[in-house]
């Protein structure tokens, strides 16, 4: 029998608002469940129980049918996020199905768990969490994940992305960038008001944060190869879900 995957939302086509393929037109599949509890998580509904009635157990084929229903022939790229999709071994069937349809696949994870299907992801974003999240990075696990990917020639398919809210986070980001200097590195503006409903007010605040982060990176010799980005979807659509 086909395996099932706990899915919280499927949406798109939209654009990837973050990281290594920012601007890429994509569909999103958001899985339920996370092994972290970041203080500022903008997708806490995936793990805090508030959307538990919306979780659907879906097979790879169910997900594909829903993607086609929403996106028709207007997509060639699918981003899998969460929660932490790396908790789900059962994603292997979805990844194989998407490959068979010639769809490029991106995936977002914090780097706390390994899955063998990481080798099949075209754009794998690993986003270890800075001190402001309240989480602690297990660098032994992260080293292992990155070493496996590098040993299998996946360098061009992987990037690191650290969200920065304050100076302490920036120091953490420097350490991560230095430790994994062989991988493309992104600094991402933190949104510390994930319940703000006023899109204009949020936009102004996020742009101020972006300016602060750019200034930090510009002044820092350790960040000569870093790329600084906002969450483009937050600038465009605020804290709205499903965009
Ligand atoms: C919701 S997470 C899901 C994937 C995975 N759990 C992770 O954290 O990488 C997707 C991305 O959103 C980022 N993110 C979550 N909350 C954020 C916030 N308040 N401000 C900026 N980025 C945020 C995460 O760091 C991650 O890069
Ligand atoms: N447009 C858009 N881009 C995104 N990039 C990462 C997202 C996520 O929540 O993982 C996300 C999202 O939710 N929407
Ligand atoms: S790891 Fe990702 S999904 Fe999990 S709590 Fe942190 S930001 Fe949210
Ligand atoms: Mg998001």
Edge-to-edge order in the sheet of strand 227-229: 56-58, 5-15, 25-31, 77-81, 104-109, 123-126, 158-164, 185-189, 227-229
Question: What is the rounded distance in angstroms from the CA atom of residue 183 to the CA atom of residue 219?
Answer: 21
pLDDT of residue 184 exceeding 80 = yes
- The predicted structure's pLDDT at residue 1: 75
- The predicted structure's pLDDT at residue 111: 98
Spacing, Cα 162 to ligand 1 middle (Å): 9
- List domains and CATH numbers for the chain: 5-237 (3.20.20.70)
* 3-class state of residue 135 by DSSP: coil
- The predicted structure's pLDDT at residue 200: 97
Q: What is the mean pLDDT of residues 136-159?
A: 98
Written as one string, the DSSP assignment of 203-229 is HHHHHHHHHHHHHHHHH-GGGTT-EEE
The complex scores an ipTM of: 0.99
Closest residue to atom 14 of ligand 2, CA basis = 243
Mean of the per-residue pLDDT values of the chain:
98
- The whole-model pTM stands at 0.98
- The predicted structure's pLDDT at residue 133: 99
Spacing, Cα 210 to ligand 3 middle (Å): 21
Residue closest to 145 by CA, chosen among 173, 116, 174: 116
Confidence of residue 68 (pLDDT cuts 50, 70, 90): very high
- pLDDT tens profile 30-53: 999 999 999 999 999 999 999 999
Question: What is the rounded distance in angstroms from the CA atom of residue 106 to the CA atom of residue 28?
Answer: 9
40 is in an annotated binding site: yes
Q: What is the mean pLDDT of residues 116-139?
A: 98
Terminal CA-CA length for the chain:
33
Spacing, Cα 145 to ligand 3 middle (Å): 18
Q: How many Å is the Cα radius of gyration of the chain?
A: 17
**How far is Cα of residue 93 from the mean position of the Cα atoms in its chain?**
20
Sequence-distant (6+) residues with CB within 8 A of 149 are: 118, 119, 124, 155, 157, 158
State which residues have CB under 5 angstroms from ligand 4, the bound ion. 42
CA atoms within 13 A on the CB side of 59: 6
Per the DSSP assignment, residues forming a β-bridge with 11 are 28
Confidence of residue 186 (pLDDT cuts 50, 70, 90): very high
| Residue 82 CA, closest ligand 3 atom number | 3
Q: Is 42:70 a contact under the CB 8 Å cutoff?
A: no
Spacing, Cα 1 to ligand 2 middle (Å): 31
112 is in an annotated binding site: no
Closest residue to atom 3 of ligand 1, CA basis = 82
- Least distant ligand from the CA of 163: 1
- Least distant ligand from the CA of 189: 1
* Kind of pairing between the strands at 227-229 and 185-189: parallel
Q: What is the mean pLDDT of residues 54-81?
A: 98
Residue 139 tokens read as 């660098």
Confidence of residue 117 (pLDDT cuts 50, 70, 90): very high
Q: Is 33:47 a contact under the CB 8 Å cutoff?
A: yes
Confidence of residue 235 (pLDDT cuts 50, 70, 90): very high
- The predicted structure's pLDDT at residue 64: 99
How crowded is residue 57: how many other Cβ atoms within 10 Å of its Cβ? 12
43 is in an annotated binding site: yes
Question: What is the rounded distance in angstroms from the CA atom of residue 185 to the CA atom of residue 178?
Answer: 10
89 is in an annotated binding site: no
Spacing, Cα 29 to ligand 4 middle (Å): 12
Q: What is the mean pLDDT of residues 150-161?
A: 98
Confidence of residue 206 (pLDDT cuts 50, 70, 90): very high
pLDDT of residue 56 exceeding 80 = yes
- The predicted structure's pLDDT at residue 181: 98
Helices (H) and strands (E) in the chain, counts: 6, 9
Confidence of residue 243 (pLDDT cuts 50, 70, 90): very high
| Residue 17 CA, closest ligand 2 atom number | 3
36 lines ligand 3 (CB under 6 A): yes
């Amino acid at each position: 029998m086909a395996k099932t995957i706990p899915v919280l939302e499927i949406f798109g086509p939209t654009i990837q608002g973050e990281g290594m393929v920012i601007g890429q037109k994509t569909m999103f599949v958001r899985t339920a469940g996370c092994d972290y509890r970041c203080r500022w998580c903008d997708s806490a509904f995936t793990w805090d129980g508030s959307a538990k009635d919306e979780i659907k157990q879906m097979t790879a084929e169910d997900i594909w049918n829903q993607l086609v229903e929403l996106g028709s022939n207007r997509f060639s790229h699918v981003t899998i996020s969460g929660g932490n999709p790396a908790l789900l071994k059962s994603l292997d069937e979805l990844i194989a199905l998407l490959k068979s349809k010639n769809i490029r696949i991106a995936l977002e994870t914090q780097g706390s768990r390994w899955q063998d299907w990481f080798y099949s992801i075209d754009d794998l974003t690993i986003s270890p969490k800075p001190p402001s999240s309240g989480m602690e990075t297990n660098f032994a696990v992260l080293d292992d994940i990155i070493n496996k990917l590098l040993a299998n020639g996946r360098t061009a398919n992987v990037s690191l992305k650290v969200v920065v809210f304050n100076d302490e986070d920036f120091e953490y980001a420097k350490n991560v960038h230095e430790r994994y200097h062989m991988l493309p590195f992104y600094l991402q503006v933190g949104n510390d008001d994930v319940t703000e409903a006023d899109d204009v007010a949020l936009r102004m605040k996020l742009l101020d944060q972006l300016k602060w982060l750019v200034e930090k990176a510009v002044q820092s010799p350790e960040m000569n190869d870093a790329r600084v980005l906002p969450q483009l979807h937050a600038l465009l659509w605020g804290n709205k879900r499903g965009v």
